[in-house]
Amino acid sequence: MVSIDEVARFAGVSTATVSRALSGRGHVSDATRARVETAAKTLGYVVSSSASSLASGRTRNIGVLVPFLDRWFFSTVLSGTASALMRRGYDITLYNLTADREQRRSVFETFLRRQRVDGVIAISIELGDEETEQLRELDLPVIAIGGPNPRLSTLTVDDVAVARLATEHLISLGHSEIAHIGASPEFDIDFHIPTHRRQGFERTLADAGIPPRPALFEPADFTVEGGFRAAKQLLGRPGERPTAIFAASDEMAIGALLAARELGYRVPEDLSVIGIDGHELGEFFRLTTVDQFPLAQGERAADAILDELEARDAAIPREEPRRLPYELIVRATTARFDR
Amino acid sequence: MVSIDEVARFAGVSTATVSRALSGRGHVSDATRARVETAAKTLGYVVSSSASSLASGRTRNIGVLVPFLDRWFFSTVLSGTASALMRRGYDITLYNLTADREQRRSVFETFLRRQRVDGVIAISIELGDEETEQLRELDLPVIAIGGPNPRLSTLTVDDVAVARLATEHLISLGHSEIAHIGASPEFDIDFHIPTHRRQGFERTLADAGIPPRPALFEPADFTVEGGFRAAKQLLGRPGERPTAIFAASDEMAIGALLAARELGYRVPEDLSVIGIDGHELGEFFRLTTVDQFPLAQGERAADAILDELEARDAAIPREEPRRLPYELIVRATTARFDR
DNA sequence: TTGAAAGCGCTAACAT
DNA sequence: ATGTTAGCGCTTTCAA
C-alpha cells in the first residue's frame, strides 16, 4: 500500500503539504497541488482511513441504524441515505437493530462507541429512554427519522395529519362507513406511527360528526398478508359493511385490494381503498395513497447530518422537529360513493 | 472518551496487558484478565477502532457491495449478511453500486482502497474485468455471491439447474405448452442470471423433445409489473396459448398470477405458474417456486469471509465455486394439465 | 505472564 | 505557502 511519504517524495514536498493538498484543508499553491495530485494519481495513493481518523478525529463515516433491512419502506429510506452520503464522499456503516435485545444493547454499548462514525442516522427506530441517552452521550450529531423525540434532532412526518388527509379524502367523496386497518391500541407503547395514524383517522371522523364504529376497525401487522386478512374480516362480516377502507400502509392496502377482489367487490365502484406510504407497487395497483417520499426522507437525513457536521463550530441550534412533506396521490382505488 | 491508559492505571497493569486481556491475543493470567475486564467495564472503555486498526492492520469491518438496496432479493441477502457479521462482532460498511458509472468507479478506486475493511462481499454484482482485477489488487479476502467468476471465490447457485428443476416440474405435470418470462437474449452480456435460467428452461424442453416456441417467450424486467405485462401478452395473444408459465423470478410470477386472474384464467386449473427465488409473498399467493434461500445466502457469505479471515495464515485454497442449495416448493399455483 | 517502547500513517500546531 | 514535528490511541515486538 503506497503511503503519504512516497507521494511526498515523488512530488518533492513534505507529507504535510501532501495532506493539505489532498484534503483541501489549509493553503497550497495551485502548482504544488497539481504536482501532488499527479503524484498521488500515478502512484495510486489513497489515504488510509484509520490513520487519517486517528490523527484528525474525523472518520468520514456515518452510522445508520435500521430496524429492518428487508422491508420495502426501510430499505427505500436507506437507499436514499446511502446514495446521498456516497455522493459526498462518506462511507456508511450499517447497524441492523434486530429483535434480539442483547444484540441491540451491544450496538449502543459497543459498536457505536468504537469511534468509527462521525454521526448517526436512526431510521424509524423507536428508541428507549436509555438508548436515546446513550446516543446523546456519544457526543455526535444524531438525526432520527420518525419520532418526534424532543431529546434528538428529528425529521418527522406528521402522521396524524397524514391520516387526516386520507380520511378527509374519503369523506369528501361521500363515504361515512369507513373502516380502518392499522395498529391495535395495545401497540401504543412502543410503536407510535400506526397509533398516530389511527388517531388522525378517528379525530377526523369525529370532526365530521361521524360516530365511531369499533366494528370497522381491524388490527394488522403492516404486511400485504395482514391487510388481506383484515379486509376479509371487515368485508365478510355480516352486518355493518364499510364503503371504504383506509389502511395505515400501502402494503396493507394492497392486501385489502386483493381481498376485495376475491370477495367479488369492484374497486372503486363498491369499495374505495386508500393507503399510506407511496409504495413502488402503488402505481401498478392504481392505489390512491398519501405519499411520504421515503427515498427523499433518506436523502434529507443524510444532508442534514452532513450539514450539521460541516457547521460543527457554529452554535448547534436545538432544533424543532423538522417536518417532512407528504402528498395525496389520487389514483383509481377511490371514488364517490352514492348512497 | 476513556482511553486504554486509564484502564491500565485503574487495573494497575500496563497498556500492553490491557490490550492483550481485552483482545484475547497473547497470554494473560486469569486474575489479571478479570481485573482488566472489571476496570474496562466500570470505566466504560471501548477500544478506538481507528487506533486499533492503525496499529494492528485489522479493522473488524467488512465491505458489502450491493447493486440495489430497495429490491427484495438483495435486501434479504444483505439482511442475512448483516446479522451474521454483527453476531461475530464485525461492522459492515455498505457500498451501493448505482447505475452512475462515475460513482461506481469511485467505489473501486477510492472507497474500497481506504483500508477501512478487512474483506469484501459482493452480492450479485456483475463485475467487469477491470473491477474484478481491482478487487483482487486490494489483496483482501473477497467472496462473491453469484458468478461463477473463476478469478474470485464465489458462492453460486446453479441457475441452469434451478430453471431445469422448475421446467421439469411443469413437464412432469403434463405441460408442454410452457411459456417463459425472463431476460431477453440481448441482456446476455452483462446480466447472466436470467440468461442461465432461460437456458435451463430451453435445454430442458429440448431434452424432453418439446419443440421450442419463440412465441411463448416474453422478456420482462424482473418486477411484478413487468411480469404482469408479459403474462398479458402471452395469454392475450390469439393463437398459441400456454398452459403454464415459468417466470424467472417470483416477483414476475406474482405479476403473471395477477394478469391471469384479470383475464379470467383460473390458476392452477387453466394455467400453472411457477417462479424462482423464495419471495416472502410466495406463501401468501400460494406460489409454487424454486427457493434459493436468499437470507441463508447472505449468512453463508458472511461466514465464509470470516472463516477465510481467521484462517489467514493457512494456504488460501483457490476454491471451486461453492454451490448454493435450492429447493422446489410446490404450493398451489401448479397442477396437472389434462388435455 | 508482564512491561517498555517503537511504531502504525496520518494531521495540525507551530515555525519559517 | 511550505516544512518540522509531536502526537492520535492503540498493538506488538522484544526483554525481563
In CATH terms, A4-56 corresponds, of 3.30.70.20, 3.30.465.10, 3.20.20.80, 1.10.260.40, to 1.10.260.40
Per-position b or e across B318-327, b if 16+ CB within 10 A of its CB: eeebeebebe
CA of A55 to C1' of D7 (A): 8
Q: Where are chain A's structural domains? A: 4-56, 61-157+294-323, 159-291
Q: Residue B100 pLDDT > 90, yes or no? A: no
pLDDT band at B313 (very low <50, low <70, confident <90, very high): very low
Q: Residue A167 pLDDT > 90, yes or no? A: yes
What is the model's pTM? 0.94
Flag if B50 and A54 touch (Cβ within 8 Å).
yes
pLDDT at position A98, please?
85
Residues 271-310, chain A: which have Cβ within 8 Å of B?
280-281, 283-284, 295
In CATH terms, B159-291 corresponds, of 3.65.10.10, 3.40.50.920, 3.40.50.300, 3.40.50.2300, to 3.40.50.2300
**Cβ atoms of B4 and B39 closer than 8 Å:** no
The whole-angstrom separation of Cα A62 and Cα A53 is 13
Digit-coded pLDDT (tens) for A157-166:
999 999 999 9
Q: Give the number of other Cβ atoms within 10 Å of residue B129's Cβ.
A: 9
Segment B253-265 mean pLDDT: 96
CA of A137 to C1' of C12 (A): 26
Angle at A126 between CA A189 and CA B80, to 5 degrees: 125
pLDDT at position B320, please?
67
List residue ranges whose Cβ is under 7 angstroms from nucleic strand D: A 12-17, 20, 26-29, 31-33, 51, 54-55; B 1, 3-5, 15-16, 18-20, 22-23, 25-26, 45, 47-48, 51-52, 54-58
Determine the CATH number of domain B61-157+294-323: 3.40.50.2300
Q: Which of the nucleotides in strand D have any atom less than 7 Å away from a protein CB atom?
A: 1-5, 7-13
B169 to B152, B246, B339: CA distances (angstroms): 33, 10, 17
pLDDT band at B240 (very low <50, low <70, confident <90, very high): confident
Structure-model confidence comparison of residues A128 and B117, the more confident one: B117
Q: Which nucleotide is closest to A6, CA to C1'? A: C9
Flag if A115 and B79 touch (Cβ within 8 Å).
no
Domains B4-56 and B61-157+294-323 share a fold: no
Q: Residue A189 pLDDT > 90, yes or no? A: no
Digit-coded pLDDT (tens) for A235-291:
999 887 899 999 999 999 999 999 999 999 999 999 999 999 999 999 999 999 999
Q: Residue B209 pLDDT > 90, yes or no? A: yes
pLDDT band at B319 (very low <50, low <70, confident <90, very high): low
Using alpha carbons, select from A135, A53, A147, A311 the residue that is nearest to residue B52.
A53
What percent of chain A has pLDDT above 90? 83
Flag if A93 and B95 touch (Cβ within 8 Å).
no
Residues 208-227, chain B: which have Cβ within 8 Å of A?
224-225
Averaged pLDDT of chain A: 92
Segment B42-58 mean pLDDT: 96
Segment B123-136 mean pLDDT: 92
Q: Please give the helix or strand (H or E) that residue B105 lies within, else none.
A: helix B101-109
The reply to whether B228 touches chain A by the CB within 8 Å rule is yes
Contacts of A276 (CB under 8 A, 6+ apart): A162, A163, A166, A197, A247, A248, A249, A250, A253, A289, A290, A292
Which residues of chain B neighbour A3 with C-beta distances below 8 Å?
Answer: none
Contacts of A150 (CB under 8 A, 6+ apart): none
Digit-coded pLDDT (tens) for A90-147:
999 999 998 888 999 999 999 999 999 999 999 999 888 999 999 999 999 999 998 7
The whole-angstrom separation of Cα A62 and Cα A85 is 8
Q: Which of A7, A77, A92, A94 to mutate to test the interface with B (most CBs of B within 10 A)?
A: A94
pLDDT at position A240, please?
79
Digit-coded pLDDT (tens) for A289-318:
999 999 999 999 999 999 999 875 444 555
CA of A135 to C1' of C8 (A): 30
How is residue B228 written as a grid cell?
404482469
Q: How far is A207 from chain B, CA to nearest CA, in Å?
A: 38
CA of B54 to C1' of C7 (A): 10
Segment B43-58 mean pLDDT: 96
